[in-house]
Every structure is written in C-alpha cells, then in structure tokens.
Structure 1
C-alpha cells in the first residue's frame, strides 16, 4: 500500500528519518526538525495535494493513513506547537467529504479496512477536546442521564490503538465541553448565575460518577476485548494499567478544569499517585507494549504532582525516551520541569494562563475575550480582548519566519508571513515600538500600514529594503542569522504548501519552532 500511494511513502520515510536522526543524537538539545525530515514531509504534502485533486471521491479514504503519519511526525518531533491541528482538521474534512460521496455499505467497508486510521482520528479528536483552543457547542442535556459506561455493548471494549476503552472518548469530549462552559461562566459578570453554576456542578458529578463506574467495572472483570482479539496475561495486565492511567487522567481534568479544585486537593493528588504507582508497577516493559501510549497520563499526573511525585513523573518520561527514543516524551519532561520551577520562559507562557472565549464577528474575524496575568500590573489578572483575523495563504514555496534579537536581551521580534511583515520592540524605560508593512505586488514595493513608537533601530522593509533577508532559505530554527549589523535568533521558520479538500485548507510544513505552549501530548 505504501508504494502505491506516493504521499504515504514519503510520510513514512519522514517518520523513519525522524527516528533515525533521534538515534544518532544521544544528547538531544533542541527539537528542530532536521532538513531531511522536513524535505520528506514537504514532498509528502505535495503528493497529497495532487492525489486529493485527482482521486475519485470514493477512494479518498485511502489517503487517511498519509494524514495520520504526518500527524504522528508532528507529535513525535517534540516541537510542541500547533501544527498537528492542521492534520487533524484535514482528516476531518477528508472523512466528511468521503461520507457525502459514497454509499453506507462502502463507507462501512472502508472503515473496516482502515480501522487503525479511524481509531486514530476518533482518539485524537477526543484528546484534542481537552485542550483550550477548541470551541465546544454541545448543549448539556437537562435531567437524568445514563452514565457514560452504560452507552451500549461496545462502550467498554478496549481499543488496542489508543490503550483505553472506547467509552473514554465520550468522557474526554464531555470534559472538554464542560471545561469550555466553565470558562464561559467564569468570564461572565459576577461569575454568572447560580442556576448555571448548579448545572455545571451536576455535570461534573455525572462525569466523575461515570469514570468511577468505569474504574469499578474494569477492576472486576478487566477491560473487555473485541471478539477477534486475544492478549497474553502479561499484555492484558499492561493494557489494564494503561486504561486505568487514562481513567485517572480524566478524573484529574474533571477536578481541575471543571470543578476548579486546586492541585493540592486530596482528590487530585490521589489520582496523581495512582497513575504513577500503577505505571511503575509494570516496569520494565518491552518496546512492543502499551508503554508507548503512556506519555499523556504521565504528563497529566506530572503537571499536578507535588514533592517526590514530581521526581517519579520526570523519571518515567526520561525512561520512556531512553527506551523508545520518541522526542515528545523528552520534551514533556522539559516542560514539566519548567512548569514546576514557575519559569516557563519561552517554553510555555511566561505570564501564566491566557485563556479566552471566542466569538465570531460579522466580518468573519474572531473576538477573543478572557483574563490573563499582566506583567505591567505586577502579574495581576486583568480582562483582555483580542481580534483574530485569518491571513490569505502565502504563495506555494514561500518562506515565513520569526526572528528574535540576540544582542539586546531578546526585546525585539521580527516576523514575516507571505506578504506581511511585523516588528515589535520593547525595552526598559521606553514605550513599545511596532511596525506592520505589506508587500504591494502592483507597485512592487513594501508599504507601511501601521507605526508606533521609535522606529530608528527597527528594520523597515520600505525604508531599508529586502537585501538583508535574502539568506532566509539557509536559516534553521535555533541558529543565529545576521540581518544588516544585527544578530537575530531564528525562533521559527516554515515553508508553505497548499491543498484543497472542498474548501481550501492550508498545510504549513513547520521546519522547527520553539513552542509558546504545549496543548497536547500523545
């Protein structure tokens, strides 16, 4: 199958190259993608674009493994940015377009043939619902509801791909929706109405009871297996531990994000210890085991851990990396250390949580409102508003980048995306300076659209020209670029490609990025 689909072949080679490069770098000091990995991923996306345009709608399902493999490359790279979301949305668009073009019988046949990709998509969608960047529109059903472990015969069946029972997918989606509702409620004047608060508390209790019932069920009988599945005693034990770790991870999300309990709460710390103790109890394990699936629950436990439990969580992630050489496990350990020290710097968000609610505006833009810690107010939480506007895709093959000054304490940022250029600069004792310029293709020149503050030491395309940036194709993330007389650190750089699936979807190929935050660990 790989040789028959060029996009899948190049994606598979990219994943193999990523693993091989990791084996060759025992001391991993950065998480930038190597040039060969980026090149193979770019080639895969180019082939995928052609295949989507020429393939019969009835056969598009066969391209889903390509998207899954590219997604895994993004996650396993350890970049910890948002590029994985592009592939998830692409898979969603492909599945939806396929469903509208083929019969139910053929759809069921494809689902059986591509069950791994289907389970990957369903699992990833559910885990992504736990992140803070997806708007949930599910309406809470009033009145009594059956527990999520009582949703049908297949609900308690163990999914060997994700490492937990299928009914946990529904739990993760419900937690994400409830957490989004909690976020909206907290942003309302006077914290909203008592009725909404009561409904949300009932929802949290229902979710907790559902997960507790799953834990009780599986502790008595073990996770159910599909009729055509068999496991050895050792394998069954390992999958049971993996399933239990995900169940307690779900409880942590309920306590922390829906009920808003502190990390020090007894319920939270009990879940942390149960995750760590159960995982430690099955060590050591071989490479071919659910061990590879445990990064997410270990990270979840480690994020809330206290005292010696932090050492346990980090040790498990490091041991997992040493065994499997998957970069995102090592990156997860680094992020945990940064979060424990309270100094996330560039790794996550130096000003604490920045969580908002998105509202669609009449012109198509998105209004984000919420609260965040403000450095100029001594870290005090204050309300904010931001407008998000989608930019048109840059031309195929164009370079976009983010640079940070290296000779003035990192107080200046320069960014280019297609025909847009932006500079921000702030120093002690001086107001913020900013410049935004756009390329005018008809006049063949850069035009300044916005200026504020002193611009003497900021590079302006309209004033200083483009000559200093001509070496951009030779830049690599983490390296130093010389622009004029200044030294700038390359924080991110990407090459753009475009694919069409009904509506236009942009697939950026990220060559390397220092992450502003982590949103999902798989």
Structure 2
C-alpha cells in the first residue's frame, strides 16, 4: 500500500521552516535538529485571519517596534488551537453558534450600571459571573479600594457596550472562580475563552477597524486571565502583553494631551499594562527584549517614587529592574552556562566580566541607599487620603521587599553568588519577615501583591524553616485571593527545592531561572 506523503507542516520548528524541510514537530527537539545538532525552538507566527500580517493595521503597528514581532513559546506549551488572535492556528470554533454566546452580543448603554434590572437581557449565569468580577476578581487585582473602583467604573460600562470585552471579563471571572475552588462549569469556561479570542480577532481583522480603549482593555484582560489561570496555556500571557504594547504604541501616535492629563479610562489601562510589563522583567525568561517603546513612554505617567496601584512596587525601581534584566542578558548565562539541573557540588559557576561586576555593584549600592533613606510611600493624589494606617504600614513593608527582590536578582542572576551567601540569605530573611508582618485582608489591599517578592525569596531559600514560612504565606495568599499563578509558583518552588536537596545543592548551583527555561515554563509572579 502506497504511503501517504507527509505534508510540510505550518507549525514546525523555526529551523525546519527556515530550511523549508519537513518537521516531525517533536518537542522539545525535532528529529532533524537532533540529527544535525542544531538548536530547536518553536515560535508563534504572528498572522491575521487570512491576510498577510505585515499588511494588516496591527502588523504595520508592530513594524514600528521590531522587538515585538516574534514571541517565542515554551516548547512544552500546547496551544491546541488556542494560540490567541496574534498567532496562527486560531481556528473558528463551532462553539460560537452556542445559544448562550449570542446573548453576549446585546449592546446596552451606560444606564445599565445605574439600574441592575436592565441586565435582564444577560443570561443568569453570566450575570453571576459579572457580579463575581465586580465584587471578587477586581478586589484580588487591586492594592487599594480606589483602583478597584476604577476597574469597576471603567471596565464594566465599557464591557456592556463592547461584546468581546464583556466575554473576556466573564472568562476572567470564571477562571478566578476555578482558582478559588468555587463550582464552575469548565465547558462554559472553555466556551467563554474561545469566544473572547474569536470575537476580538474578528474585530481586529475588519478593514475599518478603529483602535480604542475597549480593544486594549480586552487584550489586557486576556493577558491577565492567562497569568492567573494556573498554567492552562503556559507562556501565552506574553503574546497578549506584546499585543497590548503594540496597540498602546499605535495609540500614542494620536494622543494630543500630556500623558499626565489622559482620560481616566486610558490612564488606568496604560497603568495596568505598565504594571504587568515591569513585573515581567523579573520573571527569569530573557527570550523577549526587556522593554518596549510603549513602556518607556508610559513611564512618564508616574511621579518619582509613586507606588504602582496593582503590583505595589515604587516607580523608582523600574529603571533598576530594566538594568538588572539588561545585565543578565549581557552576562550571557542563559546561553553559555552549562545546564544547571544536573549540576554537582564541584561545578564551578561562571563569572561575569569586570565591567558587568562594576555596574552590578553600582546598582546594589543605589538600592542599599534607597533602603537606608526610605521615605513614606507616595501615591496618586486621590489615593493617599483613602488609606488606613494598616494599608500604609503594609505598603511600606511591600516597598522594602521589592528592593530586596531586586538585590536577590543581582546577587544570583548577575554576580552568581551561591544561595548560602550571607547577603543572599539576609535578603531572603528580610522578605519573609516583612511579608509575615503584612495583613491578607478580605478587601483590596497590599497583600494581593506579595507574590513576586515572596517567589524571589523562595527561589533562594535553602533552610527548611524559611521554606515552610514561604509555603504558609503562599497558601494564605492563594486561599484568600485565589489566583492560579500563586499555586503554580508554589509548585515550581517545591520542585526546585526537591531538585536542590536531591543534589545536596545548598549553594544554589541549580539556578531557578535556568530550571524554568529548561522546563519550558514562563511563570509571571504577578
């Protein structure tokens, strides 16, 4: 019987596609690359529904910032047709004809907020999800009540007039319910996820498409949903974030007012993007350039030392985070250092150049001066008067932990100091001590933002008492706020600790960022 000829794959690895050869798509390395000894990687190719991407409006937008045109994907990811609107393979779904989906296409005016009875056109299941988003999801997203109210005041009216944003918010609410352990129909969740992606793609592919706040809000909502979804689509949040960056870059071309005079809706959305992009600088994955043009420009919105409303870091640390990422990339550890997973106690870590060491110590000195001369955290004018003494105390603690998280990044990812080093363990202890003093309240509060510093400390904790304290704090955070990435972070730390213990590796030669890359993970502790 004649064998059917294997068709050339449209989703093969980068090397096979470049050489126009067949790829068996084996992951993490296909057969051809293994035989030839070449590096094998898979990427999401940015294409729009049927049109060449470079000829689309969004493609033209991306072409202005080349760093945004390719987003590598974890080799362990399986998008299974859910590659998001910016990627290929986002196929039409028969679920779109589901009768419930049509309910979400109803357009309504701002009166809906003033009279909840007018939501009768919305299916009861979706009304319940919308209520969950307003009362619970926004609380877990916000460091204080003002920004929670901003989310409700901006996103909900906008969503009730924009079907694809409404579906995205409902998908986020359903995802949050799953993370909290609340009963949630998973088929309904998949329907909402698929529908939101397809509806947004349909809108963006229209010839007369007009970029507005609702489109950016939808993209950021989809990004945040992937971040907190407990690993349903590892790494896909990055593609959404890149899409939002390109949209904002395009939007900046038409802004006629100073950035500090933006409409409230636009300001909130840009702050949300900037918050996620900043935290992504610390996630250990260097496959994407450290900053975008949008992020550089949006930074002007913030006053010096102003506290971020969503992640709780001070704006004064943003250039330091960028410099850390830049130094880490220049040191070339990710590319040149031997695989650390099988490191032995006799393995000697690579050392950076003298130039990198000098620049690193300059940043360390700058951070230590900040810690010694710490001031009362600053907030937006309309926020300061709403904070209680408990909130202020917790913000001060959170501010300090972000400084120590930055120090840990420099000690470990740039200088390559061992985990047992006194400087490293001092910062680990300070983060645990300060977060242990904070309050995990049943309201919008700084406690929602401790994941990044706590994860940083966990990656370097080698004493069992410190590890147990981190377990307890992450479990408290997960139970209270129900974000799936908290569970993912703890799972990663447990694996890392076991790996180090199995190799008698108290020195931390098994580097956490190296492990994350080799496992094909892309966790954002946001």
- Please report the TM-score for the alignment, with normalisation by the length of structure 1: 0.58
- CA distance in structure 2 between the aligned counterparts of 1:106 and 1:154, rounded to whole angstroms: 14
Match of 1:326 among 464, 483, 493: 483
Match of 1:20 in 2: 177
Q: Does 1:38 align with 2:38?
A: no
Which residue is 2:227 aligned to? 75
1:355-387 CA distance string (max 9 Å, x none): 89xxxxxxxxxxxxxxx99xxxxxxxxxxxxxx
- 1:311 matched to 2:468? The reply is yes
- Label 1:98 to 1:57 Cα distance change in 2 as closer, same or farther (>3 A): farther
Q: Deviation of residue 202 (structure 1)?
A: 1.6
C-alpha change, 1:137 and 1:17, in structure 2 (3 Å) is: closer
Residue 65 of structure 1 deviates from its aligned partner by: 1.3
- Residue 251 of structure 1 corresponds to 407
Deviation larger for 230-239 or 264-273: 230-239
1:89 to 242, 255, 259: 242
Q: Per-residue CA shift, 1:19-39, capped at 9, x if unaligned?
A: 22334469x9xxxx9332222
Whether the 8 Å contact between 1:81 and 1:518 is mirrored in structure 2 is yes
In structure 2, relative to structure 1, the CA distance for the partners of 1:152 and 1:285 (3 Å cut) is closer
Change (3 A) 1:119 1:313: same
SS in structure 1 of the partner of residue 477 of structure 2 = helix
Equivalent pair of 1:7/1:47 in contact (CA under 8 Å)? yes
TM-superposed CA distance for 1:111, in Å, is 6.0
- Post-superposition shift, 1:207? 1.4
When residues 311 and 355 of structure 1 are mapped into structure 2, their CA distance, relative to the original with a 3 A threshold, is closer
- Native 8 Å contact 1:61 1:95 kept in 2: no
- Which residue is 1:217 aligned to? 373
**2:423 aligned partner:** 267
Alignment of 1:41-120 (within 5 A): 41-54=193-206, 59-79=211-231, 81-100=234-253, 102-105=254-257, 110=262, 112-120=264-272
Q: Distance in 2 between matches of 1:292 and 1:119?
A: 17
Paired residues of 1:70 and 1:87 also in contact (CA < 8 A): yes
Q: For 2:201 and 2:301, how far apart are their aligned partners in 1?
A: 39
Indicate whether 1:294 and 2:447 are aligned. Answer: no
* 3-state SS of paired residue (2:381): coil
Task: State the alpha-carbon separation in 2 of the partners of residues 43 and 106 from structure 1.
Answer: 36
Q: 2:495 aligns with which of 310, 321, 338?
A: 338
Q: Deviations over 1:400-428 (max 9, x none)?
A: xxxxxxxxxxxxxxxxxxxxxxxxxxxxx
Contact kept in structure 1, 2:458 and 2:493, CA below 8 Å: yes
- Would you tell me which structure has more strand in proportion to its own residues? 1
Q: Whole-Å Cα distance in 2 between the matches of residues 248 and 257 of structure 1?
A: 14
Look up the SS of the partner of 1:164 in the other structure. Answer: coil
1:161: Cα distance to partner?
2.0
Identify the residue that residue 483 of structure 1 maps to in structure 2. none
Shift of 1:172: 1.2
Query: Offset at 1:135?
Result: 4.9
User: For the Cα contact (< 8 Å) 1:123–1:169, is it kept in 2?
Assistant: no
Please tell me whether the aligned partners of residues 304 and 315 of structure 2 are also in contact (alpha carbons under 8 angstroms): yes
Q: How many residues align?
A: 338
Question: Per-residue CA shift, 1:180-235, capped at 9, x if unaligned?
Answer: 1112698399x9x99x82211121012112222322333xx311222232222111
Change (3 A) 1:184 1:321: closer
CA shift in 2, pair 1:66/1:260, >3 Å = same
SS of the equivalent of 1:286 reads coil
1:128 aligned residue (280, 299, 302): 280
Alignment check: 8 A CA contact 2:391 2:445 kept: yes
Question: For 1:282 and 1:344, how far apart are their aligned partners in 2?
Answer: 30
Deviation per CA, 1:145-202: give whole Å up to 9, x if none. Answer: xxxxxx999221112222111122221111111101112698399x9x99x8221112
Give the C-alpha shift of residue 123 in structure 1.
Answer: 2.2
The more displaced of 13-22 and 268-277 is 13-22
Asked whether the 8 Å contact 2:489–2:525 carries over to 1, the reply is yes
Give the distance between the partners of 2:334 and 2:480, measured in 1 at CA. 44
| Structure 2 residue ranges without an equivalent (≥5) | 1-157, 292-299, 339-347, 503-508
C-alpha change, 1:262 and 1:353, in structure 2 (3 Å) is: closer
CA deviation map 1:462-520 (0-9, x unaligned): xxxxxxxxxxxxxxxxxxxxxxxxxxxxxxxxxxxxxxxxxxxxxxxxxxxxx742442
8 Å CA contact retained: 1:76, 1:328: yes
Between the aligned partners of 2:525 and 2:244, the Cα distance in structure 1 is 19
**Is this contact kept in 2: 1:303–1:339, CA < 8 A?**
yes
User: Would the alpha carbon gap of residues 206 and 44 (structure 1) be closer, same or farther in structure 2, given more than 3 Å must change?
Assistant: same
CA distance in 2, matches of 1:171, 1:114: 26
CA contact (8 A) 1:208 1:251 kept: yes
Preserved CA contact (<8 Å) 1:157 1:226: yes
Q: Counterpart of 2:383?
A: 229
Q: 1:248 to 1:56 in 2, by over 3 A?
A: farther
Work out whether residues 119 and 162 of structure 1, in 8 Å CA contact, stay in contact via their aligned partners in 2.
no
Task: Report deviation, 1:58.
Answer: 6.1
Contact 1:111 1:118 in 2 (8 A): no
SS at match of 1:155: coil
